[in-house]
Structure 1
Amino acid sequence: MKKILILGANGATARVVIQRLLQQEDVKLTLFLRHKGRIGNLGSGRADVCEGDINNPDDLRAAVRGQDIVFSAAGGMDLDEKTHAVIAAMKECGVRRIIAISAGGIYDELPEPFNQWDRAMVGYTRPVNLAVAEALEQSSLDYTVLRPVWLTDTPVAEFVLTTKGEMYKGTETSRASIAEFVAEVANNPALYVNENLGISQSGTDGDKPQAYR
């Protein structure tokens, strides 16, 4: 049984990831969030809810201890600080595998004119998300950085991956595709170790995401 900790478990992306992982019988989830009443009843005996504050080292260590994989869907403008806290807790508890969400655009790797549009819309978040990626790359953990762009709820699980230094493809990333990616790593934790990957959908090229055209 693989034990997977979900950080930021109440978020929209994390909820899709949780439902996908619960389809796999060999997975046991720990769902970490500030207020456990927000998650509701998942109807599964393979998902434990752990209430805590990611900024509290004791809470974080208690959640991380004994896990095989950590998936971080945490957010906020202090995400870099949260990421450093997660890394520290993992090292203290001897947990090595982490998948964490950063964001596309942190290397100006989005094709123009989409890159210019994205920078105008959410460019203020890029320094924090870049710091997240750099912290993981320097952590000595078995990390995977995921760089989605504009998130959608379309039920498309297929994804296109681009490596660091490669021009991004597409303007949208479905939450379902992030869930599928995490499920693949749950099946084989050696996949994508120490990689920094853009994740998006084919057929979404353009100057901006479809919802904004």
Structure 2
Amino acid sequence: MKILILGAAGQIARILTNELLNKTNHSIALYARNGHKRLTIIDDRREVIFDGDFKDKDKLINAMKDVELVYINDMGDEESTKSIIDAMHDAGVRRVIAASILGIYDEVPGAFGEWNKRMIGGSPRMRSQIESARLLENSNLDYTLLRLTWLYNQIGNTKYMITQKGEPFKGAQVTRQAVAQLIMDIIEEKSDKYLQASLGVSEPNTDWAKPSFY
């Protein structure tokens, strides 16, 4: 399978790329602004780099040639999200996994929910994330939306837990390594259990008032 990673210079995207190269036979198209300057090819038989902006639909369509699955590393700009969705429709690509943030449905209860609102609740970026998620959920694509809690790095810690849309969000933090592992698990899943799904993503046993690193 050929996978397109949009925002390939991001931290989770880089971890995911390495995991795909080391643990699968999938080929990977890496799409980023100034991608050739920011990214390094490890396996030139399986990787190709595209320089481009998310709003450049023609470049996106070109990068989607022979692609079966798209991963979107950032949904913080709704115009970019609309451009990606339109390009997928034009290119005939249906499967997409997209990284969003917690709180887009006001689904985070308790002290952590209040802390999260104080930190990001009224920000323009949050409003863009809400609109981007709405666009994706109404896109008629085979989507999996990942509502990520607060992120940190810890090599070797790939533990994650999932909550479904409509359930209270649990968990104040999760590693980028665990998010990459979840994306790998979703990519390899043969059933449709992750299709048309909006998943809250956190680390088990972190149901705290704020992340440990704050």
Work out whether 1:50 is the aligned partner of 2:35.
Answer: no
> Hey, what's the Cα distance between the residues in 1 that align with 2:170 and 2:74?
24
Paired residue type of 1:45: R
Correspondence for 2:213: 211
Correspondence for 1:101: 99
Correspondence for 2:33: 34
**Misfit runs of 4+, over 6 Å:** none
Correspondence for 1:19: 18
Normalised to the residue count of structure 2, the TM-score between the two structures is 0.92
Pairing 1:19-168 to 2, within 5 Å after superposition: 19-35=18-34, 36-43=36-43, 45-76=45-76, 79-123=77-121, 124=123, 125-155=125-155, 156-168=157-169
> Hey, what's the Cα distance between the residues in 2 that align with 1:191 and 1:211?
33
- Give the drift of 1:43: 4.7
Normalised to the residue count of structure 1, the TM-score between the two structures is 0.93
Deviation larger for 44-53 or 138-147: 44-53
> Hey, what's the Cα distance between the residues in 2 that align with 1:103 and 1:52?
24
- Give the drift of 1:186: 2.0
Of all paired residues, the percent bearing the same amino acid is 35
Correspondence for 2:182: 181
Relative to structure 1, the CA distance from residue 133 to residue 75 in structure 2 (aligned partners, 3 Å threshold; closer, same or farther) is closer
In structure 2, runs of 5+ residues without a counterpart are none
- Give the drift of 1:191: 4.1
> Hey, what's the Cα distance between the residues in 1 that align with 2:75 and 2:85?
15
Paired residue type of 1:107: Y
> Hey, what's the Cα distance between the residues in 2 that align with 1:68 and 1:158?
27
Relative to structure 1, the CA distance from residue 60 to residue 163 in structure 2 (aligned partners, 3 Å threshold; closer, same or farther) is same
